Amino acid sequence: MTLPIISADERLAQRKGIKGCIFGRSGEGKTSLLWTLDATTTLFMDLEAGDLAVEGWEGDTLRPRTWKECRDFAVFIGGPNPALRDDQPYSQAHFDEVCSRYGDPANLKKYHTVFIDSITVAGRLCFQWCRGQPEATSDKTGKPDIRGAYGLHGREMIGWLTHLQHTRGKHVWFVGILDEKLDDFNRKVFQPQIDGAKTGLELPGIVDQVITLAAIPDANGQLQRAFVCQTLNPWSYPAKDRSGRLDMVEAPHLGRLMEKIQSPGRPAPQRLNYPEIDIEVPPAPVSTSHVNPSTN
């Protein structure tokens, strides 16, 4: 048995999927982005039951109602994690049990994109499930332990997102609501609307792309819907572009955005060359104090 090194040619030939989150205020048109995707190769995971905006969309839909169904779908589409024990979710045993109910995972081969609307509702389903687990009950008093529930909720959500992130052959997009709040210094900040702090803090480090769908004024001052794609933006919207191929503001068309991220005709991210920084370092202050020699 040789060391399983993947050559550069093999890695470049592999089909890669984009994993990303799209956040925006309520009513910004996040669900309507389905219209910009190919209906024949897109699976819509409708957690919000809010598909009125895409009533005529002709793609297939999945409607989980419980957190267990969300976990089952993740292992069914992503396969088992060989590092996990049989008693853990996303393990080989979990995968085999789900396949015995859902059939052959090859039936999902025709779907290139999974559109999950929304991660906000997924977090609520997860927290509801967590509150009924033994970890959410105090061993000493037998009363509900909200801290234990939130701790379990963070681990469950991160595990679910990480497993979907490792589904290499498919694009997975999570949609979520963006909240606008004021920090302790009365500054405006934007945060994803997800129960618990752990998921919102770790989510940008898991997915490839974080995009904010927002109304941005054009040159004439008219508001236009647009994707904000880069971390350094003047509006302080949450954003991240791991591909390095996106501009700060892109048209709100998810299909064309994915083509741009994966387009071989566009230059790949280059190694950054930072200019030398010429900073004059002030001399160290000279101490004016002196120590008198000790006398016997």
- pLDDT tens for 182-217 read 888 888 889 999 988 899 999 999 999 999 999 998
Of the chain, the percentage scoring pLDDT greater than 70 comes to: 87
Look at strands 209-217 and 188-192 and give their pairing: unpaired
19 backbone φψ class: left, alpha, beta (φ>0; ψ -120 to 50)? beta
Residue 280 is given by DSSP the state: -
Which pTM was predicted? 0.85
Burial class (CB in 10 A: 0-12, 13-18, 19+), 179: middle
Burial class (CB in 10 A: 0-12, 13-18, 19+), 245: middle
Query: For 238-249, how does the pLDDT look when each residue is reduced to its tens digit (9 = 90+)?
Result: 999 999 999 999
The neighbour count for residue 44, using CB atoms within 10 Å, is 22
pLDDT (0 to 100) of residue 34: 96
To which H or E segment does residue 224 belong? Answer: strand 223-228
The packing angle between helices 146-165 and 67-78, to 10°, is 20
